[in-house]
């Protein structure tokens, strides 16, 4: 464990916004609003996370067809200024005017007048120029502060960078966990060269076949026991670990149980030494060639 300040990741300054430092672990909301847990528990979990410093909250119009945004809106009632709020637009809603209408619907469900970050959920058929035009109009009207993308591979990031205004992209949100390290070959290095953080969804390998039984893997269990942490906390600490002295990954796990929220927040204080990282690298090596981008 470390006594140093809790790790933060920097969103670089844009032409319209100053640089912004946020905790390296935030809160995801995928599957919230679907009745899988009592709504009051979902709301309280998000509020508890805010109280513990997990101020970045990620959601999307896709999640429960807007139901997750409604849960987030309820959680943020009277405390909107405590959160850095992220939502995402469907690719087919990302046209010149449709993106503005989609954003306004999200804002209504969230009970707020602005998003801190608005993401294109995955690449689609609508030209990026159109989407960026809509994002700029939303920014000029104060409805969003920054824009970003999700599920973009390196070739798509290069295409985005070639579009006027594409250089202001704040983040790329992708699947990333110890058992799915494909982005380390090309995408993460590209983003590091462009000082663009990654946002890691499914950092606990929640996604079906990609789980690879990480939470019960002998090396994960042994390392976690030695550190006095849970396997989930170990995976979060690994996801946000500094690389060459620099942190550039936000992890956004979802949690509903109070104990899990507390554990996620405590993972911010876990530092993995070189020996622990080497053992995890040996058990789950990074790819030596570029694989297709993992998407859920």
Question: Which positions are catalytic?
Answer: 63
Phi, psi (5° rounding) for residue 154?
-65, -35
- Can you name the residues that pair with 22 across neighbouring β-strands? 9
CB 249 within 8 A of CB 24: yes
- The answer to whether 55 and 83 are in contact (CB under 8 A) is yes
Burial 73-94 (b: 16+ CB within 10 A, else e): bbbbeeeeeebbbbbbbbbebb
> Roughly how many angstroms between the first and final C-alpha of the chain, as a whole number?
32
Query: 């979990």: which residue's tokens?
Result: 45
Q: Which of 27, 104, 93 is nearest to 58 (CA)?
A: 27
CA pair distance 171, 119, nearest whole angstrom: 8
Main-chain dihedrals φ then ψ at residue 177, nearest 5 degrees: -160, 175
In eight-state DSSP terms, residue 189 is H
């Amino acid at each position: 464990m470390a006594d140093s300040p809790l790790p933060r990741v920097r969103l670089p300054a844009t032409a319209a916004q100053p640089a912004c430092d946020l905790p390296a672990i935030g809160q995801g909301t995928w599957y919230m609003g679907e009745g899988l847990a009592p709504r009051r528990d979902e709301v309280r979990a998000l509020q508890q996370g805010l109280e513990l410093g997990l101020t970045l909250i990620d959601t999307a119009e896709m999640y429960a067809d807007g139901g997750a945004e409604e849960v987030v809106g309820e959680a943020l009632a009277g405390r909107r200024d405590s959160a850095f709020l992220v939502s995402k637009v469907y690719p087919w809603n990302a046209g010149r005017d449709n993106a503005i209408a989609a954003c306004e619907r999200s804002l209504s469900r969230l009970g707020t007048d602005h998003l801190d970050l608005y993401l294109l959920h995955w690449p689609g058929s609508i030209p990026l120029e159109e989407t960026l035009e809509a994002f700029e109009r939303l920014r000029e009207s104060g409805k969003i502060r920054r824009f970003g993308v999700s599920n973009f591979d390196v070739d798509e990031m290069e295409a985005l960078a070639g579009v006027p205004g594409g250089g202001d992209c704040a983040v790329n949100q992708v699947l990333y966990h110890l058992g799915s390290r494909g982005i380390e070959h090309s995408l993460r290095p590209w983003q590091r060269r462009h000082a663009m953080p990654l946002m890691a969804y499914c950092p606990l390998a929640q996604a079906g076949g990609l789980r690879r039984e990480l939470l019960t893997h002998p090396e994960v269990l042994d390392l976690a026991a030695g550190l006095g942490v849970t396997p989930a906390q170990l995976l979060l600490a690994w996801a946000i670990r500094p690389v060459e002295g620099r942190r550039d990954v936000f992890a956004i796990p979802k949690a509903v149980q109070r104990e899990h929220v507390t554990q996620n927040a405590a993972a911010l204080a876990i530092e993995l030494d070189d020996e622990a990282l080497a053992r995890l690298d040996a058990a789950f090596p990074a790819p030596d060639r570029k694989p297709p981008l993992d998407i859920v």
